[in-house]
């Protein structure tokens, strides 16, 4: 472990109350009471429009390559104009607005305008429109929401998806390029509306129980579910975060962020954190994908964040760029206080490389932290607000949240209760009833354990999804989450993600999604345009994966932790088949179902594509 000093940052003390349960398990909670919080996000917007009207709230790249910016004062004026335009259309709590496009200023103004006057907003993953071939999920969500207004930033870009929807009686609003065959209202006309008394009256009726958003889950076990997010959920969650991260009150955050607002990480945790604390959000149009990552790097080369949020797949792309570019490193770390990862565990090699870069650039270790939660918890339940020296710890319960840990097989299943938890799924009473236990705790489906049984204040460790773990033929449990991360780390950087196999088999196997850029780097004489199916069969790639997994096996010889074989897949995970979310999280169950033939090939014996580890 490095002895370099940590960047100085004020955290709340690490403390937890533990209440044992009859029959095993416990309930964890923060000894710090949740302090009063705002009635609505609109209260935060009005505060900063009054206290810092000229401070930039949102910025995005303009067509000329510069930044389009809106201040807090301008944002409030735009939001009230949009709110009036929506009220003029007789939209209300029963008539949500549906947003199809990526993050952007107009997207934010429409969303805030809806919530300002009690109209639910339903942002939908753009991947369901732009990457999908059948638009099945988009049509499902459209049917559940039944919107009377649908917005997209670019009408022509979304024309194919819009054609898949029955838009009879539905107003289409676009910022640019209306589709040729559909009538569309320019978003600028909403901004040109003069707000009247109706806006103030409607905003006065918005309170903690008002439905603010309907966020859709990734649908790991079926079609996406619509999760009601109330003002109470979001505002209480931001208050809890501010109490464990008191530095937010002293230093308004500046972030450069791509994480999609249709997900709770980007849309609730990050966006709302900036709004609650009077910060500035630079909308990053890049993504952790070949070609798109260049936009992210360009933004980070120009804008120095104080906090940086990403998912492991994102760090997989950003870290090599930081390693290769001294100027980028200087800007990136120049005022960076904290690095935050979530949505999946960060492999140890990525952690080590990022820490090394921080020390080389600043002489200090940047704080690296995580949290845990779900769409249904808006999102944070536990937070790391203390020093950790490796990934895996997801923190301690934030003020207001109760974390119940109950025995489930040989694990402890985590359940949640608090003001940040959803009251229901949208229009689905049966699903709502099934989601809560007899004590009113939401059953999230994840497992956890104490990092140190003798000292609970050292935090909770994520212990995988209870539904993902399986038994080998020997009856031994395989803990998928931990093994997946270990395998990715062992063969770094060649493996971008992996799915663990072996249910009712004699041994554990691995389906590997390769990191194309890293695999190409292992093959210095390979042409840059080498097709994926050829690249993954190069001896340099296969030998690297085999040797890394052999070293893992030497340190983990047990039947449930030893990986016997691996198969590298040429075809990337499919979003249509729900194998991956647009945040880059792999759906273990969906991959195994869709690629059953690959699993059979892995265990069939004698196939030259299979890498035998021993």
Specify the length of the chain in residues. Answer: 614
State the pairing for strand pair 411-417/171-176.
unpaired
How many folded domains does the chain comprise?
3
8 Å CB contact between 451 and 395 = no
**Average model confidence (pLDDT) for the chain?**
94
437 and 552 share one domain: no
Report if residue 66 sits inside a domain: no
Domain that holds residue 108: 72-206
Predicted pLDDT at 485: 87
Instruction: Please give the span between the terminal C-alpha atoms of the chain, in angstroms, as a whole number.
Output: 31
Q: Rounded to whole angstroms, how far apart are CA atoms 458 and 395?
A: 8
- Which residue is associated with the tokens 């921080």? 358
Predicted pLDDT at 218: 74
Report if residue 357 sits inside a domain: yes
Q: How confident is the model at residue 605 (pLDDT cuts 50, 70, 90)?
A: confident
428 and 494 share one domain: no
Task: Identify the domain boundary among 387, 417, 449.
Answer: 449
Q: Rounded to whole angstroms, how far apart are CA atoms 148 and 168?
A: 9
133 and 273 share one domain: no
| pTM across the whole model | 0.86
240 and 386 share one domain: yes
Report if residue 31 sits inside a domain: yes
Handedness of CA 455, 388, 36, 261 (dihedral sign): negative
8 Å CB contact between 274 and 416 = no
Predicted pLDDT at 477: 80
The CATH number given to whatever domain includes residue 178 is 3.40.50.980
237 and 200 share one domain: no
Handedness of CA 45, 48, 54, 58 (dihedral sign): negative
pLDDT tens-digit readout, 406-454: 998 888 999 999 999 999 999 999 999 999 999 999 999 899 999 999 9
**Is a pLDDT exceeding 60 seen at residue 220?**
no
Residue 425 pairs in a beta bridge with 227
8 Å CB contact between 237 and 245 = no
Q: How confident is the model at residue 179 (pLDDT cuts 50, 70, 90)?
A: very high
Cβ neighbours of residue 187 under 8 Å, at least 6 residues apart? 106, 110, 151, 173, 174, 175
Predicted pLDDT at 577: 79
pLDDT tens-digit readout, 444-472: 989 999 999 999 999 999 988 887 888 78
271 and 416 share one domain: yes
518 vs 331, which has greater pLDDT? Answer: 331
8 Å CB contact between 179 and 158 = yes
Averaged pLDDT, 544-572:
94
8 Å CB contact between 405 and 448 = yes
Residue 458: DSSP 8-state = G
Report if residue 55 sits inside a domain: no
How many DSSP H helices and E strands does the chain contain?
A: 23, 28
590 and 477 share one domain: yes
State the pairing for strand pair 171-176/185-186.
parallel
Residue 8 has which token pair?
């100085």
**Is a pLDDT exceeding 60 seen at residue 262?**
yes
Predicted pLDDT at 1: 63
Q: How confident is the model at residue 476 (pLDDT cuts 50, 70, 90)?
A: confident
Report if residue 460 sits inside a domain: no
Handedness of CA 544, 547, 550, 556 (dihedral sign): negative
pLDDT tens-digit readout, 222-252: 688 999 999 999 999 999 999 999 999 999 9
DSSP track, 347-378: PHHHHHHHHHHHHHHHSSBPEEEEEEE-GGGS
Residue 393 has which token pair?
């710890």
DSSP E strand stretches across 305-344: 307-310, 338-341
The CATH number given to whatever domain includes residue 324 is 3.40.50.12780
Residue 612 pairs in a beta bridge with 565
| Short-list 99, 37, 106, 101, CA closest to 75 | 106
Q: Rounded to whole angstroms, how far apart are CA atoms 60 and 284?
A: 7
Report if residue 495 sits inside a domain: yes
Burial (Cβ within 10 Å: 0-12, 13-18, ≥19) of residue 9: middle
């Amino acid at each position: 472990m490095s002895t370099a000093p940590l960047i100085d940052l004020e955290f709340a003390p690490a403390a937890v109350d533990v209440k044992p349960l009859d029959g095993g398990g416990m309930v964890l909670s923060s000894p710090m009471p949740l302090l009063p919080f705002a009635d609505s996000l609109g209260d935060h917007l009005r505060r900063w429009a009054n206290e810092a009207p000229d401070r930039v709230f949102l910025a995005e790249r303009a067509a000329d390559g510069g930044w389009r910016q809106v201040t807090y004062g301008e944002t409030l004026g735009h939001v009230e104009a949009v709110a009036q335009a929506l009220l003029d259309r007789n939209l209300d709590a029963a008539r949500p607005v549906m947003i199809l496009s990526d993050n952007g200023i107009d997207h934010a103004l429409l969303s805030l305008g809806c919530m300002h006057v009690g109209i639910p907003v339903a942002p939908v993953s753009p991947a369901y429109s732009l990457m999908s071939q059948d638009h099945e999920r988009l049509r499902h969500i459209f049917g559940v929401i039944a919107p009377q207004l649908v917005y997209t930033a670019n009408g022509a870009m979304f024309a194919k998806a819009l054609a898949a929807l029955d838009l009879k009686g539905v107003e289409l609003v676009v910022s640019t390029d209306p589709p040729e065959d559909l009538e569309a209202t320019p978003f600028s006309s909403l901004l040109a509306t003069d707000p009247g008394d109706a806006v103030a009256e409607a905003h006065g009726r918005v309170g903690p129980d008002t439905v603010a958003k309907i966020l859709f889950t990734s649908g790991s076990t079926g079609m996406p579910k619509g999760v009601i997010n109330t003002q109470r959920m979001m505002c209480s969650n931001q208050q809890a975060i501010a109490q464990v991260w008191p530095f937010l009150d002293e230093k308004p955050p500046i972030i450069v962020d791509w994480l999609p607002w249709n997900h709770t990480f980007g849309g609730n945790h990050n966006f709302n954190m900036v709004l609650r604390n009077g910060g500035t959000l630079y909308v990053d149009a890049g993504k952790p994908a070949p070609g798109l990552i260049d936009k992210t790097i360009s933004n980070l080369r120009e804008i120095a964040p104080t906090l940086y949020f990403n998912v492991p797949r994102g760090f997989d792309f950003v870290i090599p760029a930081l390693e290769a570019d001294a100027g980028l490193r200087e800007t990136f770390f120049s005022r960076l206080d904290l690095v935050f990862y979530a949505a999946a565990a960060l492999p140890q090699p990525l952690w080590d490389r990022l820490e090394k870069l921080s020390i080389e650039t600043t002489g200090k270790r940047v704080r690296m932290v995580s949290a845990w939660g779900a769409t249904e918890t808006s999102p944070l339940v536990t937070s790391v607000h203390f020093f950790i020296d490796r990934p895996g710890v997801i923190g301690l319960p934030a003020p207001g949240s109760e974390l119940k840990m109950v025995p489930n097989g040989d694990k402890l299943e985590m359940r949640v209760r608090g003001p940040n938890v959803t009251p229901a799924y949208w229009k689905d009473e049966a699903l709502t009833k099934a989601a809560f236990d007899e004590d009113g705790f939401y059953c999230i489906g994840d497992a956890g354990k104490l990092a140190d049984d003798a000292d609970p204040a050292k935090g909770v460790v994520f212990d995988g999804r209870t539904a993902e773990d399986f038994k080998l033929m020997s009856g031994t449990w395989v803990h998928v989450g931990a093994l997946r991360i270990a395998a990715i780390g062992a063969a770094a950087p060649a493996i971008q993600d992996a799915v663990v196999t072996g249910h009712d088999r004699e041994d554990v196997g691995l389906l590997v999604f390769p990191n194309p850029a890293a695999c190409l780097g292992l093959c210095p004489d390979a042409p840059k345009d080498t097709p994926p199916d050829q690249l993954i069969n190069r001896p340099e790639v296969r030998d690297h994966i085999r040797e890394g997994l052999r070293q893992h096996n030497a340190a983990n010889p047990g039947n449930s932790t030893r990986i016997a074989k691996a198969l590298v897949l040429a075809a990337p995970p499919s979003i249509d088949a729900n194998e991956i979310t647009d945040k880059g999280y792999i759906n273990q169950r969906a991959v195994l179902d869709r690629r059953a033939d690959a699993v059979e090939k892995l265990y069939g014996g004698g196939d030259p594509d299979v890498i035998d580890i021993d």
